Amino acid sequence: MWLRALFLIGMFSLAEITQALAEWSVSGSGTIFYTDDVALFSATRRSGLDGDPSQPVLDVTRTGLGSDMVFEPGFLVSKSITTGLGRTVFSIKPQGFIFAVNPEWSQASVAIEALHAFNPNTAIRLRYFGAPDQLLGTSEVSRAEPEVEARERVTSHVGYIRLEQRLSEHWEIRLQGRVGKRLYNDAFARRNTTFWTIGPHLYWRASEHLRLFAGYHYERGMGSGRHAIEPEEDNSYVHHFFAAGLDAELMPHLELELDFHYERNNWTSGLPDDERNGQHENIYQGTGRLLYQLTDQTALTLSVQRANRGVNAFQTIDHNTNVGVGVIHRF
């Protein structure tokens, strides 16, 4: 009798667990990239209206570390809850970059998000993005003699808020704000940065199979080095970011995504001996992705990215090209 009761309880519990899991949405992706510049890969991949376009990299004169193959795994787990106040979707998205030849450049990140829709036309999105202990390369610790170099690493903590308002059947406007901190390892703690970002995004559904978008971000970053008693450098900056692109359904099961980015970094240091004094950086980037829906649950992707970065104080321009093939599966 006891065994029968335990069996019935177990079957009931299993049914409840199965029903609960059915309310969750889980998808996974994996992409294999070829990159021609290890140091610039993650910054190029994360640049975008919905990404982290101001992620720091070392000065262009220190990049060009060579090519590599990179595996980019990712998962998206989400759950929807509907109440009298509207519908809320909670999600978590861990992601990684795993380098084959240069494993010390491998890194991970996570995004935790809540999207609340008050009605079909109005929503608010809150997100935390974290990328811990990211390697930037080897850099000079101090300008004092003797010259000492060390590996430079940064941890990013970024909070997002975005208001999304549908204006009509074809138009939607979004207003995004960010606040965040970049925390460097001890040898480079003078470069710790606090920043804030604000900017609008505009979307136009031109037809059933075509959507166009454009957006602009203004960002102000304040480096902690400016508060030192005898400051050596100040990595404070003003960052302008513009993006425009399209999402198009070319034919049944085949979609095309294209976007172009322009970034302008103006360093605002006024220190006479700071190499950033009077410098600015221009970045041009184009991204294209084809997505083929193989089945209702599985899609194949082909991605190409090209970025050019140049600082006015140097004669050379750094290029980064990433080409990847991948798969997305919804469980």
Q: Which of 311, 237, 231 is nearest to 271 (CA)?
A: 231
Tell me the two tokens of residue 235. Answer: 């990595």
284 domain residue, yes or no: yes
39 domain residue, yes or no: yes
Domain count for the chain, please give it: 1
278 domain residue, yes or no: yes
- Percent of the chain as helix, strand, coil, to the nearest 5: 15, 65, 25
pTM metric for this prediction: 0.87
CA distance 135 to 215: 29
Q: Give the mean model confidence (pLDDT) for residues 132-143.
A: 85
272 domain residue, yes or no: yes
CB 241 within 8 A of CB 216: yes
Q: Is 104 exposed, middle or buried, given 0-12, 13-18 or 19+ CB atoms closer than 10 A?
A: exposed
Residue 28 has pLDDT above 50, yes or no: yes
84 domain residue, yes or no: no
Residue 16 has pLDDT above 70, yes or no: no
Residues 6+ apart with CB under 8 A from 94: 74, 75, 108, 109, 110
- Round the average pLDDT of the chain to a whole number and report it: 88
pLDDT of residue 70: 97
Residue numbers of the domain that contains 302: 26-75+93-102+167-330
136 domain residue, yes or no: no
Q: Is 10 exposed, middle or buried, given 0-12, 13-18 or 19+ CB atoms closer than 10 A?
A: exposed
pLDDT of residue 3: 37
Q: Give the mean model confidence (pLDDT) for residues 77-90.
A: 91
Residue 13 has pLDDT above 90, yes or no: no
Residue 6's alpha-carbon distances to 10, 11, 18, in angstroms, are 6, 9, 18
CATH code of 292's domain: 2.40.160
296 domain residue, yes or no: yes
110 domain residue, yes or no: no
